[in-house]
Structure 1
Amino acid sequence: MDKKINEKIRLLRLKKNYSQNYVASQLELSQSYYGRIETGKRTISLDLFMKILSILDVDHITFFNDVNLNQSSQK
């Protein structure tokens, strides 16, 4: 998974004031496994990615538009 995607997931979680433990429990994963997702040490399926976005209350179109906007503003 692209590091920018992992970081975006982490930033959205922090913006919601959710702990890794909270998100992990909603996904029925261990906190350590979820932490490895955020750091890019684990790849995830599209299904799990969509579940994470649902918990964070972000749709995939907004998520990727924001990622692209952030990339273009850094050039």
Structure 2
Amino acid sequence: MNIKEKFGLKVKSLREEKGISIEHLANISNVDRNYISDIEKGKRNVSIEIMEKIIIALDFDLTTFFNDKIFKK
């Protein structure tokens, strides 16, 4: 699994845990809905700025987000 897929999987997992739709995440992060969908599928190279917007919208901080075991392989 590459880093794009790992990032997308983590975003999708957190979004689903919080019970929010892609549309809602798009609204609260100010990131296009289709872009978020592609991120979750591992199809996008995500800029640091977009990462930050999404992670903050998911109510996480960068350290906690990237400290997940999925990123340690």
On the 8 A contact 2:11/2:40 being kept in 1, the answer is yes
TM-score, normalised via structure 2 length: 0.81
Identity fraction in percent:
35
Whole-Å Cα distance in 2 between the matches of residues 71 and 23 of structure 1? 22
| CA distance 1:34–1:59, change in 2 (3 Å) | same
| In 2: Cα distance, 1:20 partner to 1:26 partner | 10
User: How many aligned positions are there?
Assistant: 71
Q: SS in structure 2 opposite 1:12? A: helix
Match of 1:33 in 2: 35
- Letter of the 1:61 partner, please give it: T
Q: Given the two structures, how large is their TM-score scaled by the length of structure 1?
A: 0.79
Q: Which residue of 1 aligns with 2:66?
A: 64
> Matched residues in 1 for 2:45 and 2:71: separation?
21
Point out which structure has higher relative CO (alpha carbons under 8 A, 6+ apart).
Answer: 2
Deviates more, 1:18-27 or 1:51-60: 18-27
Match of 2:44, as an amino acid?
R
Instruction: Map 1:1-75; keep pairs closer than 5 Å.
Output: 2=3, 3-66=5-68, 69-70=69-70
Structure 1 runs, 4 residues or longer, greater than 6 Å off: none
Structure 2 unaligned residues grouped into runs of 5+:
none
Structure 1, unaligned runs of 5 or more:
none
